[in-house]
Amino acid sequence: MIFRFLFRYLALLIFSVLFLFITKASAVIIPYGKSGKIVYNLKTGTFNVSESAKQLLLKGFSQAEYQKKLFSSKDYKNITYSKKVIHDRFGNGLKHIFLLKQPGLPAMQQVFYTYNGKNYFIINLVLVGTDLSINRIVPLNGNLINQEYADVPTSLFVPFDNDTFISYHTVPLTVNVNNPSAEVTALYHNQSRKGFVIGSIEHRDWKTGIITAMDVDKKISLQTICGFTDESITRDKMTHGYLKGNSVSSAKVFFGAFDDWRLGMETYAKLNRISEPPIVFKWNNATPVGWNSWGVMQERITLEKARQVVNFFADSLKSFRSGGVAYIDLDSYWDKLLKGGLTGDYAQLKAFADYAKSKGLKPGIYWAPFVDWGFAGGGNRKAEGTDYTFGEMWTKVGAGYHDLDGARALDPTHPGTQQRMASVIKKFKECGFEMIKIDFLGHAAIESAHFFDPKVTTGMQAYKTGMEFLLKQLDGKMMVYAAISPSLASGRYVHVRRIACDAFKSIKDTEYTLNSVSNGWWQTYLYDYIDADHVVFSDQSDGENAARFLSAIVTGTCITGDDFSIYGKWAGTAKRLLNNTEILKVLQDGKAFVPVEGNRGKSASQLFVKQAGNIKYLAIFNYSDATKAFHIDFTGIGLKPTDTYIAENLITRKVESLHHNQTINLGGKDALIFKLPSNPNN
Give per-residue pLDDT as tens, 337-374. Answer: 999 999 999 999 999 999 999 999 999 999 999 999 99
What secondary structure, in 3-state letters, does 505-572 show? CCHHHHHHHHHHHHHHHHHHHCCCEEECCCECCCCCCHHHHHHHHHHHHHHCCEEECCCCCCCCHHHH
pLDDT interval class at 19 (50, 70, 90): very low
What letter does residue 242 receive in the DSSP assignment?
Answer: P
Q: Is residue 406 part of a domain?
A: no
**Cβ-defined contacts of 52-59 (< 8 Å, 24+):** 54/145, 54/147, 54/257, 55/145, 56/144, 56/145, 56/196, 56/257, 57/142, 57/143, 57/144, 57/145, 57/222, 57/255, 58/142, 58/143, 58/145, 59/142, 59/143
What are the phi and psi torsion angles at 402 (to 5°)?
-105, 110
Of the candidates 275, 308, 334, which is a domain's last residue? 275
- CA–CA distance from 368 to each of 132, 262, 403, 444, 481 (Å)? 36, 33, 14, 10, 12
By residue range, what is the domain housing residue 64?
A: 31-275
Angle, alpha carbons 438-444-449 (nearest 5°):
170
Whether the Cβ atoms of residue 47 and residue 58 lie closer than 8 Å to each other: no
Is residue 5's pLDDT more than 60?
Answer: no
CATH number for the domain spanning 148: value is: 2.70.98.60
Number of compact structural domains in the chain: 2
Is residue 331's pLDDT more than 70?
Answer: yes
Q: Is residue 373 part of a domain?
A: no
SS3 640: coil
Going 280 to 278 to 197 to 258, the CA torsion angle's sign is: negative
Is residue 472's pLDDT more than 60?
Answer: yes
- Quick: pLDDT tens for 531-578: 999 999 999 999 999 999 999 999 999 999 999 999 999 999 999 999
Q: Is residue 262 part of a domain?
A: yes
Q: Is residue 402 part of a domain?
A: no
C-alpha 416/C-alpha 180 separation (Å) is 36
Angle, alpha carbons 481-485-486 (nearest 5°):
125
Of the candidates 275, 290, 308, which is a domain's last residue? 275
CATH number for the domain spanning 655: value is: 2.60.40.1180
Q: 205: closest CA among 277, 159, 137?
A: 137
Is residue 149's pLDDT more than 80?
Answer: no
Q: Is residue 585 part of a domain?
A: no
- CA–CA distance from 2 to each of 8, 11, 12, 15, 511 (Å)? 10, 14, 15, 20, 80
pLDDT of residue 399: 84
What letter does residue 389 receive in the DSSP assignment?
Answer: B
C-alpha 641/C-alpha 621 separation (Å) is 22
C-alpha 528/C-alpha 282 separation (Å) is 9
Is residue 52's pLDDT more than 80?
Answer: yes
* Residue 657: CB atoms within 10 Å: 11
- Quick: pLDDT tens for 90-125: 999 999 999 999 999 999 999 999 999 999 999 999
Q: Is residue 209 part of a domain?
A: yes
Q: Is residue 53 part of a domain?
A: yes
- Quick: pLDDT tens for 595-651: 999 999 999 999 999 999 999 999 999 999 999 999 999 999 999 999 999 999 999
Gyration radius of the chain's alpha carbons: 28
Q: Is residue 657 part of a domain?
A: yes
Of the candidates 226, 248, 275, which is a domain's last residue? 275
Whole-number average pLDDT of the chain: 95
